Amino acid sequence: MKALVLGGGVAGITTAYELLKDGWDVTVLERLEQPALFTSFANAGLVAPGHAYTWSSPAAPKILLKSLYRNDQALRFRPSLDPALWRWMWKFMTNCTAEKAKRNTMRKFLLCRYSQSLLIDVVAAAGVKYDGLDGGLLYLYRTPETFEAGKVKAEILQSAGADIDVLSPAAVGECDPVFTPAIREQIAGALFAKTDASGDARMFTQGLADVCRSRGATIKFSTEVTGFETEGRRVTGVRTKEGLESADHVVLSLGVYSPQLARQLGIDLPIYPVKGYSMTIPMDDPRDAPRLGGVDEDNLMAFCPMGSRVRLTATAEFVGYSTTHKPSDFRHMTDVAKALFPKAGDYAKAEYWAGLRPMTPEGSPVFGRGEFENFWLNTGHGHMGWTMACGAARICADLIADRQPAIDLDGMLYGK
Ligand SMILES: Cc1cc2nc3c(=O)[nH]c(=O)nc-3n(C[C@H](O)[C@H](O)[C@H](O)COP(=O)(O)OP(=O)(O)OC[C@H]3O[C@@H](n4cnc5c(N)ncnc54)[C@H](O)[C@@H]3O)c2cc1C
């Protein structure tokens, strides 16, 4: 039995891996020349169930409003005439109640936690190298007010079993000596998610793609999917610029481009691109770089040591599908990073990148299928797609095999 996976990002390649384990004959179709060259290329690398908060919270409308008239915000909303943006924004706003924020956060947390346990299994079984780092992630707060609010927010995850400690500035220094007494003056405290982790999503995805190939999968690069052939309630073929592909089952994992293709099959996916920026600097002396990853919560800047590099990411911007970037996009991030980690590495040699998070209004991905019985969805993982990938892939494989997934999919199944 043949399965076609559309998309060679972290979602598609992990799905291919899980389908191979189930005995499928797997082919992946990817329009670029390698796996993980699009959104999975240079994300923050955080494997962060302890940061699974939904973005659609009661605080979000005020933050969005502020972003309309201020340029220094981590979130940048520039209204456009794109109807898809307004439909997405409407759904996002309707999720901004305390009750829905709690429910959406819990749902994300359970998926992230499940997924992290599978990531550990996949790495052990497949032997993939990915500059992985265990030992927790630090969520830093700059003011007593934001620290207090962070502690209250964390109670949602703690009540679901997240192992999160509250740290004083001195304890932050004990956790990671890069935070010297002078640097700690910038910090009011931190939340320490002890079982969170990190790693390079691109290395992982490319390594896992090699494992998939060695186990018999075919990965067709430079192969852009353009449409579908259907018969009754089945998708009988996938049209590409290189010709027609057929399979018994098809999985859609095209990240931000999933809605365009799904629409051809009458599936309306609430996924919109939210742009973010990253810079990667070569480490000088590892003793001067962060030992653990984390987030500067007040500036919404993530930091992550990755082997001999440090990755920094920031910003959530609604500007459509553009992945261009300019030096000014990185100015605030660079200032914040240099203040926290002045000697982390050679900032002059930074590699710059911008990517598009495939966000749903709730922040959780979409599984299941529409009216076509052999066309499956595993897409819309938003700002946590690296954390969610292994779990989401197993869920998708279980649904195809008509097995009960290990976690409750309430609110994540298309049309339900
Ligand atoms: C700045 C930033 C920081 C982030 N930090 C984190 C983090 O710390 N932790 C975390 O868990 N997540 C993080 N994320 C989110 C994470 O990177 C994404 O959720 C994840 O990479 C999405 O993977 P994907 O496979 O769904 O999409 P993609 O990686 O975009 O894969 C989709 C693939 O489909 C291909 N494709 C598209 N259209 C076609 C077509 N028509 N035919 C064939 N192929 C096609 C694309 O080329 C692409 O390779 C971050 C994202 C950004 C932007």
Q: pLDDT tens across 279-298, in order? A: 999 998 999 999 999 999 99
Contact in structure between 220 and 49 (CB atoms under 8 Å): no
Of 51, 55, 17, which Cα lies nearest the Cα of 304? 51
pLDDT in tens, 122-134: 999 999 999 999 9
Of 48, 192, 10, 45, which Cα lies nearest the Cα of 132? 45
* Residue 205 pLDDT level (bands cut at 50, 70, 90): very high
Statement: residue 70 has pLDDT above 80: no
Q: What is the 3-state secondary structure (H, E, C) of 261-311?
A: HHHCCCCCCCCEEEEEEEEEEEECCHHHCCCCCEEECCCCEEEEEECCEEE
Tell which one of 113, 257, 299 to mutate to probe ligand 1, the residue whose CB is within 8 A of the most ligand atoms.
257
Q: Output the CA 303–ligand 1 centroid distance in Å.
A: 19
Q: Check: CATH 3.50.50.60 for 2-40+203-270+363-400?
A: yes
Q: Output the CA 31–ligand 1 centroid distance in Å.
A: 13
Contacts of 215 by beta carbon, 8 Å cutoff, 6+ apart: 20
Whole-Å CA distances, 40 to 9, 59, 121: 6, 28, 20
Query: What share of the chain in percent tops pLDDT 70?
Result: 99
Distance CA 90, CA 93 (A): 5
Once rounded to an integer, what is the mean pLDDT over residues 203-220? 98
Q: Output the CA 172–ligand 1 centroid distance in Å.
A: 32
DSSP assignment, residue 396?
Answer: H
Q: Is the pTM of this model over 0.85?
A: yes
Distance CA 184, CA 171 (A): 10
Whole-Å CA distances, 55 to 74, 236, 335, 362, 384: 13, 38, 25, 8, 11
Residue 224, SS3 per DSSP? coil
Of 71, 142, 184, 148, which Cα lies nearest the Cα of 296? 142
Q: Output the CA 75–ligand 1 centroid distance in Å.
A: 19
Q: Output the CA 357–ligand 1 centroid distance in Å.
A: 6
* Residue 72 pLDDT level (bands cut at 50, 70, 90): low
Statement: residue 388 has pLDDT above 70: yes
Once rounded to an integer, what is the mean pLDDT over residues 99-112? 98
pLDDT in tens, 32-41: 999 999 999 9
Statement: residue 358 has pLDDT above 80: yes
Pocket lining for ligand 1, CB < 6 angstroms:
6-12, 29-32, 37-40, 43-46, 48, 201, 224-225, 253-255, 257, 276, 278, 302, 313, 355, 357-358, 379, 381-387
**Other CB atoms within 10 Å distance of the CB of residue 174:** 10
| Ligand 1, atom 21, residue with closest C-alpha | 40
Q: Which residue has the tokens 């898809």?
A: 84
- Would you list the domain boundaries of the chain? 2-40+203-270+363-400
| Ligand 1, atom 52, residue with closest C-alpha | 43
Tell which one of 254, 256, 258 to mutate to probe ligand 1, the residue whose CB is within 8 A of the most ligand atoms.
254
Q: Output the CA 138–ligand 1 centroid distance in Å.
A: 24
Q: What is the pLDDT of residue 158?
A: 97
Distance CA 74, CA 67 (A): 8
pLDDT in tens, 141-194: 999 999 999 999 999 999 999 999 999 999 999 999 999 999 999 999 999 999
Tell which one of 5, 6, 27, 38 to mutate to probe ligand 1, the residue whose CB is within 8 A of the most ligand atoms.
38
Distance CA 381, CA 390 (A): 12
Q: Output the CA 171–ligand 1 centroid distance in Å.
A: 35
| Ligand 1, atom 4, residue with closest C-alpha | 43
Distance CA 51, CA 263 (A): 32
Q: Output the CA 278–ligand 1 centroid distance in Å.
A: 14
Read off the tokens for 259.
């809605």
Tell which one of 5, 14, 39 to mutate to probe ligand 1, the residue whose CB is within 8 A of the most ligand atoms.
39
